[in-house]
Amino acid sequence: MIEASLAGRRAFIVENTRLQPPPHTPELQLHLADEITPIWKLTEEALAEIGLPPPFWAFAWAGGQALARYILDHPEIVAGKRVIDFASGSGLVAIAAMKAGAASVLAADIDVFCEAAIGLNAAVNGVAVTFTEVDLLDAPPPAADVLLAGDICYERPMAEAVMAWLGQGRAAGATVLIGDPGRTYFPKDGLVKLAEYQVPTTRELEDMAVKRTSVWTLP
């Protein structure tokens, strides 16, 4: 049984993951799952009891790795700025932004397990990240200089909602960066590609061991 408290979630994460560098951002450390099937099964078994979502926070997804790499290599994009990392998951992109000199980062994810994961991962990397479980899509984007989103186009309704939300943020003056490894519902129209990477992943998560992954912006 996984305890529903924040402390219980932290304990579960520490017990079922290993501190390790994501392949594409070796200067960072995250609590990540080594074996995908066991942790996925464990959380699926708990679903009926405590409504636990799949453990997306336990993996460094290709879109997030590419986006984090781009930010670390181009710190001027976030340095001294207010940043929001949408669908933050493990907090990889949020942590990269703080390491690159962001004034503040709000990591947003509706999975409350991400609060525990991001807190643990931020501490290991020596940064502080604010977390919210509020669904930011229910309102226009909060005031921010930069909006970041990695791997957000798995499903059509979600992709359309997030892209519309990011468009609102861009219209309000925010810089928007998106990391995507060629998901089916990612709309390239109206976007500008900034970079492309070959991101190591695993066939348990993806359809190939290395994913060609790009970072895009809304002009």
**Rounded CA gap, 45 and 42, in Å?**
5
pLDDT tens column, 17-49: 999 999 999 999 999 987 666 666 666 566 555
Q: What does the pLDDT read at residue 153?
A: 80
Strands 82-86 and 30-32: unpaired
pLDDT tens column, 156-174: 888 899 999 999 999 999 9
Q: What does the pLDDT read at residue 210?
A: 72
Strands 30-32 and 18-20: antiparallel
For the chain, what is the mean pLDDT? 89
Give, as one character, the DSSP assignment of residue 118: H
**Rounded CA gap, 153 and 187, in Å?**
9
Give, as one character, the DSSP assignment of residue 138: G
180/40: higher pLDDT: 180
Q: What does the pLDDT read at residue 1?
A: 47
Q: What does the pLDDT read at residue 48?
A: 52
The number of residues in the chain equals 219
